[in-house]
Amino acid sequence: MRPRSGVPSAGRLGLLDATARENLDALGWTDEASIDLLWSLSRAPDADLALRALVRLQSALGEGWPEIDTLVRSNKHFRGRLLAVLGASDALGDHLIAEPSAWRLLLDDVLPSLDAVYSSMLESVGAQPEPDSSDTENLVYRASETGPGAVGKLRLAYRNLVLQLAAHDLAATVEDEPVLRLHEVGAYLADLADAALTAALSVAIATVCGEDPLTTRLAVIAMGKCGASELNYVSDVDVVFVAEPADSTSSRIAGEMMRIGSLAFFEVDAALRPEGKAGALTRTLESHIAYYKRWAKTWEFQALLKARPMTGDLELARDYIDAVNPMVWTAAERDDFVPEVQAMRRRVESLVPDSLKERNLKLGSGGLRDVEFAVQLLQMVHGRVDESLRVLPTVDALAALTAGGYVGRDDGANLSASYQFLRLLEHRLQLQRMSRTHLLPAFDDEVGMRWLARAAHIRLDGELDAQGALLAEIRRHALRVRRLHEKLFYRPLLEAVTRFNADELTLSDASAERRLSALGYGQPQRALSHIRALASAPGRRGQIQLLILPSLLEWIGRTPDPDAGLLNYRRLCDELVGAEWFLRLLRDDGVVAERLMKVLGTSAYIAELLMRSPEAIQLYSDGSDGPKLTAVDINDVASGLVASTIRRQDLKQAVAVARSHRRAELARISSADVLGMLDVPQVCAALSSVWAAVLNAALTVVISESERERGTAAPARIAVIGMGRLGGGELGYGSDADVLFVCDPIEGADEADAVKWSQVIAERVRTMLGSPSADPPLEVDTGLRPEGRNGPVVRTLAAYAAYYDQWAQPWEIQALLRAHQVAGDNDLGIEFLLMADRIRYPKGGVSNDAVKEIRRIKARVDAERLPRGADPALHTKLGRGGLADVEWTVQLMQLRHAHEYQSLHNTSTLQSLDAIADEGLLALDDVTLLKDAWLTATQARNALVLVRGKPIDELPGPGGALRPVAYAAGWPDDEAAEFLENYLRVTRRAKAVVTKVFGA
């Protein structure tokens, strides 16, 4: 209840300024007759700001002040408008003080009519209709005043009109005045912009043409918020110009109109024209049509959703709208519609720093652009067949989507309310200083939040004060809008397929398929059948699916292959039909669900692994130290794999256990890879560790079984030497395990029997691991052994030493550079490596003849080994600057210099490159190029396996097949072309280094 007796204190009035009492004394507002006036002042958005402005206005008016004082006391409508605008806007307060007579504009109880608005703007510069347009609806005038004086008069006339609108918009915060609805304010501001630019155009015509006749027809098309009649108080006004003819005169008039408008009112922006800022400012109608038919991007058609005739030659403007409008409603049928829409969404999300996303009303998460983007996308999808959706304002479009059954009634109403609330805050923020801003005050800024709450007419709410209530509302609406894709896209799909809410939603199968197609699903009919099957699952499973599917579908839709992702999800659900933990985990842990959907929509390789090792999904959550997928010690995994395998007495059981452990570990590694949690060297090291562990387990089990069969201990020690990428700890997903088997008879054993036994053991290991399976293959390759495939699979240590001392070919010496102990008897493995050191790092270095032979072999490999028809620029292994090029270059440097530099005694390509740089054997820039190429090619090769599910070495060319590979390699979905360009650039530069080294 409002107190009526006793003069309230400054504190009770909400006045925080220490000089408030002095200001009240200066105004004479400290007696009992001023009580109602003071309580009105207390309701101003910022009472101190309003009070200071009143004192300044009193000083500016001098003897004219008593008239205002009398009106403020006697006319509550005038009082509400004056105090509200002075308490909400510094800038408009300054305007009132600079133009003391402007206060009389606040006496009118109604806003100026549209005719009055145009008259005010045109009369300010003495504009008269052009002779040829006086009898038409066209808005073509010529001003009698030009130059800086015209700009000043236009600015004053426009600011007066904005002042009147703002006063009526804000008055309800102070007195019981009618509330202007958001759409009314936006539409009125758009009308003001139309009138303002009509006047600016009149000045531009007079400036360019002088007294000469106007020889061009010029139409101005409103775009963006102005085109939709939902303009902000302070906003760029987007325009497009159409001219007949589009000559230098039309271009000069258009440019002058933009210059005058930007000086007098607001920024006038023509960047939405064909070719953007690089394109001609004016074009003929025919030129516009030709551009949109041939060159326009999806975002340009999305921009045309808001296009309407604004000013100038309105007949030409209407012809333009009639010509381009049909193209808008077929844009969703374009092949590039989905990737361009996804790219636009990502660009919007990337425009705001993370630290400001919560406070940015427009571009932040759950902000205005989220709603606008979603509504426009739905219009383009369904507006092709439903003309009722072809409306311009966002609120009207959302209402039409709801009425048409494309959005549920509750969803539509809630999103409309949230959108209008956020737009209201945007209006108030911009009014404060008449500046273009979308940034909320810092949430701990009590003064700023209090002012905004009061300006937005938010009052106390239970235990919350005004700013507390505002913050709660901001967060509530942002949370609601954050789920707009569920609300607008996916929830209606579920309601359509289940028909649970037929009275609220009439989305047909055809409409649902159009929506899925626009969201990136290439086979919408199949996708809809998957959704129907998942949502219709019996009992508790179906209820959980209905709850989680909207979010899952959105996340799948962000991947390069939503169709595969949805199919993989359905298959996984069918596989885990009895596992209650699975759906509960997805329901209760959004992080797991989002990560899983990204993986399923990206990698056929991982999807197959998860079908057989679903327990790996439980590692998708976060632990106290971060993602559980990376909170694993690969050494612990390796030892656990060996321990659990060798406990099995039966060989088949042991094989199954080893495969199961390997499968789960591959699922973990590849999932962490796709999710960006592991870099390339970490992935390679983990894969190499798994392979070594599998070999160790298999060898141990086979030896144990043999000893049981023989009834005696093994006659020999056996070690497995990793070669190639296994020896270097740099395996990829598609790599075989290159190995050598070495044995050494135990004391007293016959050497022939020991070797024969070892041969059997090695073959059993290879057979055991290479047996057919649904898992990724386990091929053990012994092709790098002495004499190649013609030589024995197993030799004794002494036999290896004798062979290498007498017969070793240069390629065999080169192969030993990557030899490393990986399984079996560790002491024997080390003995082999010490023997190998004599061969690969001989005193004085390898012979010049050997180096020449390596160069010859490399030239032959380049000429002959690339598969027929393969593109050398795209082959990751054998192509230009690919893995083989880099690895051969490193190995040549080792052969030439390892006898001098101990640091080159290393089996890892990357570590050897670091050593080469440290020793100064190659320039640092050259080494960097080689490392970049090796990492880039390895990542690309791994991505190919992840996407295709099988070893592939050649990258696809530009197009749809490249997108998932680039995405799996860590590139954004819309940057596949950039991924390929980077690959080609990096490998081309590396090839130059390779050529330099091999030519030296």
**Beta-carbon count within 10 A of 741 CB:** 25
Q: Tell whether the torsion through CA atoms of 379, 382, 385 and 388 is positive or negative.
A: negative
Task: Measure the CA angle with vertex 826, ends 823 and 828; round to 5°.
Answer: 110
Nearest to 377 by CA among 517, 238, 522: 517
810 close to 891: Cβ distance less than 8 angstroms: no
Residue 42 exposure: Cα atoms within 13 Å on the Cβ side: 18
Q: Could you tell me which of 199, 205, 187, 94 has the C-alpha nearest to residue 155?
A: 199
Summarised one tens digit per residue, pLDDT across range 443-487 is: 989 889 999 999 998 877 667 787 888 999 999 998 888 877 666
Give me 143's structure tokens: 């001003």
* Lookup result for tokens 């890879």: 673
Pairing of strands 716-722, 820-824: antiparallel
Q: In 10 A of CB 811, how many CB atoms? A: 14
Any bridge partners for residue 716, and if so which?
745
Q: Please give the Cα distance from 270 to 268 (Å, whole number).
A: 7
Identify residue 940 by its one-letter amino acid code: A
pLDDT at position 333: 79
Say whether 944 sits in a helix, a strand or coil: helix
Could you tell me the two tokens for 574? 């069918």
Distance CA 77, CA 174 (A): 9
d(C-alpha 98, C-alpha 5), whole Å: 36
By CB atoms closer than 10 A (0-12, 13-18, 19+), residue 750 is exposed
Asked if the bond preceding 492 is cis, omega within 30° of 0, the reply is no
Query: How far is Cα 934 from Cα 991, in angstroms, rounded to an integer?
Result: 11
The pLDDT of residue 501 is 44
Q: d(Cα 885, Cα 895) in Å, to the nearest integer?
A: 15
- Name the helix (H) or strand (E) containing 622: strand 622-623
pLDDT digits (tens, 9 = 90+) for 183-213: 999 999 999 999 999 999 999 999 999 999 9
Q: Give me the amino acid identity at 331.
A: A
User: What is the pLDDT at residue 499?
Assistant: 52
Which residue type is seen at 233? Y
pTM: 0.78
Contact 832, 821 (CB under 8 A): yes
Q: What is residue 562's DSSP assignment?
A: H
Q: Give the contacts of 945 (CB within 8 A, at least 6 positions apart).
A: 605, 732, 733, 734, 951, 952
Query: How far is residue 99's CA from residue 90's CA, in Å, rounded to a whole number?
Result: 14
Element (H, E) at 347: helix 337-350
Rounded distance between C-alpha atoms, residue 991 and residue 253, angstroms = 55
Q: What is the DSSP letter of 440?
A: P
With contact defined as beta carbons under 8 Å apart, do 87 and 45 qualify? yes
CA distance 102 to 96: 6
What is each CA distance from 393 to 364, 404, 416, 863, in whole angstroms? 21, 16, 11, 64
Element of type H or E holding 413: helix 409-433
Q: How far apart are CA 703 and CA 761, in angstroms?
A: 7
In order, the DSSP letters of 656-701 are: HHHHHHHHHHHHHHHHHHHTT-S-HHHHHHHHHHHHHHHHHHHHHH
Distances 746 to 387, 494, 704, 749 between C-alpha atoms, Å: 88, 70, 16, 6
Residue 560 is classified by DSSP as S
Question: Which one-letter amino acid corresponds to residue 666?
Answer: L
The DSSP bridge partners found for residue 282 are: 241
User: How many angstroms separate the most distant Cα atoms in the chain?
Assistant: 125
C-alpha span between 222 and 228 (Å, rounded): 8
Under DSSP, is residue 52 helix (H, G, I), strand (E, B) or coil? helix
Cβ–Cβ < 8 Å for 304, 332:
no
Asked if residues 455 and 431 have their Cβ atoms less than 8 Å apart, the reply is yes
Buried b (16+ CB within 10 A) or exposed e, 626-653: ebbbbeeebeebbeebbeebbebeeeee
Rounded CA separation 744/829 (Å): 10
930 near 936, Cβ under 8 Å?
Answer: no
The single-letter code of the amino acid at 979 is: F
Residue labelled with tokens 């009369």: 123
Q: List helix spans (H) across 47-146.
A: 47-61, 65-74, 76-88, 90-98, 114-123
3-state SS class at 242: strand
- How many Å is the Cα radius of gyration of the chain? 38
3-state secondary structure string, 705-746? HHHHHHCCCCCEEEEEEECHHHHCCCCCCCCCEEEEEEEEEC
Q: Which residue has the tokens 């110009």?
A: 241
CA 749/CA 937 separation, integer angstroms: 48
- What pLDDT score was predicted for residue 6? 59
The pLDDT value given to residue 370: 87
**Residues with pLDDT less than 50, the chain:** 1-4, 500-504
Give SS3 for 969: coil
Asked whether the beta carbons of 142 and 128 are under 8 A apart, the reply is yes
Which of 458, 478, 477 lies closest to 468, judged by CA?
458
